[in-house]
Amino acid sequence: MPRTRSIASGTQAELCARAGSARSVTGGLDRKTETNRKSEAGTKTSADEARAGAPTIYVCVTCRKAGDPDTEPRPGALLADATASAAQGSGVTVRRVRCLANCTRGPSAAVRVNGSWTYVFGGLDVGGAAALVEGARLLAGAADGIMPWRGRPEPLKRGLIARVPPLDFQEEIP
């Protein structure tokens, strides 16, 4: 019977990087992973940014306000473009995602920093792009991993949908 190994967690790129491998298992033995190519070139990967505590904003590009017609470009895509523009040079990464499952209160975005709480916001519009970037910077600077209410831009106060704890969060409740 052949021996098998199970891998508990992590993406393939993370596992290859942990093992010191510069080869992609699914891409063939002679093709390096994008993560390893970027690391060798000295450019940051999304995994590097997450480990370093760089804030990331995920913007749903399929979002539209409830009842709006199904037209292109979607308001979520416009928000993603505006957020990416607002984030230039700020150290904040913007990622476009297909759905954050907040369709009744779209357009939506999530803000996360490694080791901190993740925040989901809805009811946003293009005017909220700068607010998302400011919120991400506030979260990145929060020693307790919680985005401070004081100083939080107004669209992020009224548009808060959820706050999700970090994976390793443990709280003692009496």
pLDDT tens for 158-172 read 999 999 999 888 888
Would the CA dihedral through 84, 87, 93, 98 be positive or negative?
Answer: negative
Give pLDDT, residue 127.
Answer: 94
Domain boundaries, the chain: 12-39, 50-164
Pairing of strands 109-112, 93-97: unpaired
> What pTM was estimated for this model as a whole?
0.69
Residue 9 has pLDDT above 70, yes or no: no
Q: Within its chain, how far is the Cα of 1 from the centroid? A: 42
CATH C-level class of 50-164:
alpha beta
Give pLDDT, residue 131.
Answer: 97
Residue 33 has pLDDT above 90, yes or no: no
On the CB side of 100, how many CA atoms lie within 13 Å of its CA? 29
pLDDT tens for 67-102 read 778 888 999 999 999 999 999 999 999 999 999 999
pLDDT > 70 fraction of the chain, expressed in percent and rounded? 70
pLDDT tens for 38-54 read 434 444 444 444 445 78
Higher pLDDT, 43 or 61: 61
Measured distance CA(155)–CA(164) in Å, rounded? 19
Query: Which amino acid appears at position 150 of this protein?
Result: R
